[in-house]
Amino acid sequence: MISAALPPPRLQLRCTECAAAQSERDAAVFCETCGGLLAFELDSSAGFDVARYRDVLAERRRSNDVIDRSGVWRFRELLPAIAPSDVVSLREGDVPLYEARRGAVYANANRVRYMHLGMNPTASFKDFGMTVAMSHARARGARLAVCASTGNTSASMAAYAARAGMTAVVLVPDAGISEAKLAQTLDYGARVLAIGGDFDAALEIVRTLDARRFAIVNSVNPLRIEGQKTTALLLLESSGWHVPDWVVLPGGNLGNSSAIGKGFREAHALGLIDRIPRLAVVQAAGAAPFVRAFESGEPLQPVHAQTTATAIKIGAPASWRKSLGEVRASNGTVLAVPDETIADARAVIGIDGIGCEPASAASLAGLRVLVERGVIAANDDVVLMLTGHMLKDTAYAAAYHAGTAPFANAIAHVANADDARRHLDSLVQEAC
């Protein structure tokens, strides 16, 4: 453990619409006055010892203490205060950065890395935020956690609720979520309400619930955003505080882009970095209401979402205003890519030996388009956020490989040992 505590910057919970201050202890998710989304504002005016903080972080990486080793709680001075005894952690957050070799070739870019958020305990980026939201819920004595989900939030919430000794209830669309995500959610002991509607309809139901009776842990909960902002801090810390030119990530309900943008902005305000990277948010073409809002400057018009990247099949993203603020603050951009491009990009990430679920590959698909359009230069330093693990949606991968050359030839059915040897001989010849 670190000898002397660092003085934390102050965080004040406020409404993002009417700016009314809110008490963190009420655990409200929406503003009591106007119903707007809440956010923690960081007061960076007190001065912050950057060199010391970097040393503290490096020291914590060598510690065996659970909260030091978590890639979220290592940054606890920048999070809402929660007693260590209330922290519910599964060692989330410390995810790897990989050089993108074939991905870079595919996108015609030279300096591309994947930050694999799917290498988290429940195999998606949700664990970054869930550890904070569920720790807060446990600290205030909540017994029941609830969320609407396209599958990843539900799996993450279910795992952390199990660790916290709480009951988890998830609302999911009764069709179209991946079997693996549902199986995970059930395995961790959650109760599942499968609704005859999509994610947007499920979130509408959750919005009507009383946050004093249920811990609502969708990304409308500002504690989720605080946890997920550490993705930005972790990226910077893992890169020796070097700032990439671009961070490209998929957008669905738009919590993650809001959170990551906030993380970079705060790191800048504290003096940890001297500029912020530009954000590119990528949506699936059939679920792209944010693209229209970004381009028109008009309020977001919900759409009926349609995409095979089921994680981002969202037509009325709750955090669009927050995300738009972050994209604009970073001089970033928003774009849409067709499902077929997402599918090809996902397969390319696979043959880089990394793999991810469909929604995550929107990042590489988006990069390719942005390089084509000249928005991102071939030599820009780019980080692609891979938001979920490949094993989250194996049915999608199997269907792709069955129907797409050269993968369709990857499985040969062999009759006997001689037949197998013949195949191996020809493969040896191919490889030489």
Q: Which residues bind ligand F0G (CB under 6 A)?
A: 124, 149-153, 219, 250-257, 311-312, 357, 359-360, 387-388
269-306: buried (b, 16+ CB within 10 Å) or exposed (e) per residue? Answer: bbebbeebbbbbbbbbbbbbbbbebbeeeeebeebebe
**Tokens matching residue 195:** 């609704």
Q: Which is nearer to ligand F0G, 137 or 282 (CB)?
A: 282
At a CB cut-off of 8 Å and minimum separation 6, what does 232 contact? 247, 259, 260, 261, 262, 263, 264, 267
Token pair 């990304």 is at which residue? Answer: 219
Cα distance between residue 214 and residue 191, in whole Å = 14
| Pairing relationship of beta strands 97-99 and 167-173 according to DSSP bridges | unpaired
In whole angstroms, the minimum distance from the beta carbon of 39 to ligand F0G comes to 14
In whole angstroms, the minimum distance from the beta carbon of 68 to ligand F0G comes to 27
SS3 at position 318: coil
In whole angstroms, the minimum distance from the beta carbon of 140 to ligand F0G comes to 23
Mark out the alpha helices in 299-338 (DSSP H runs).
320-329
**Tokens matching residue 210:** 């009383």
Q: For the chain, how far is it from start to end, CA to CA, in angstroms?
A: 54
Cβ atoms within 10 Å, residue 14? 18
In whole angstroms, the minimum distance from the beta carbon of 282 to ligand F0G comes to 10
H/E stretch holding 43 reads: strand 38-43
Q: Which is nearer to ligand F0G, 278 or 392 (CB)?
A: 392
List strand residue ranges (DSSP E) for 124-184, in order: 144-148, 167-173
Q: Which of 2, 131, 9 is nearest to 60 (CA)?
A: 2
Q: Which is nearer to ligand F0G, 71 or 252 (CB)?
A: 252
Token pair 């938001």 is at which residue? Answer: 387
In whole angstroms, the minimum distance from the beta carbon of 360 to ligand F0G comes to 5
Q: Which is nearer to ligand F0G, 366 or 388 (CB)?
A: 388
Cα distance between residue 328 and residue 295, in whole Å = 11
Q: Which is nearer to ligand F0G, 139 or 311 (CB)?
A: 311
Provide φ and ψ at 14, rounded to 5°.
Answer: -140, 160
Q: Which is nearer to ligand F0G, 252 or 355 (CB)?
A: 252
CA 395 from chain center: how many Å? 22
Q: Which is nearer to ligand F0G, 153 or 308 (CB)?
A: 153
Q: Which of 299, 322, 124 is nearest to 221 (CA)?
A: 322
Q: Which of 290, 352, 319, 307 is nearest to 105 (CA)?
A: 352
| Pairing relationship of beta strands 38-43 and 246-250 according to DSSP bridges | unpaired
Q: Which is nearer to ligand F0G, 22 or 283 (CB)?
A: 283
**Tokens matching residue 99:** 């050089």
In whole angstroms, the minimum distance from the beta carbon of 271 to ligand F0G comes to 28
Q: Which is nearer to ligand F0G, 89 or 228 (CB)?
A: 228
| Pairing relationship of beta strands 97-99 and 215-216 according to DSSP bridges | unpaired
In whole angstroms, the minimum distance from the beta carbon of 38 to ligand F0G comes to 16
SS3 at position 421: helix
In whole angstroms, the minimum distance from the beta carbon of 136 to ligand F0G comes to 19
SS3 at position 402: helix
**Tokens matching residue 26:** 């009420």
Q: Which is nearer to ligand F0G, 42 or 342 (CB)?
A: 342
In whole angstroms, the minimum distance from the beta carbon of 208 to ligand F0G comes to 18
In whole angstroms, the minimum distance from the beta carbon of 77 to ligand F0G comes to 24
In whole angstroms, the minimum distance from the beta carbon of 247 to ligand F0G comes to 13
Q: Which is nearer to ligand F0G, 149 or 230 (CB)?
A: 149
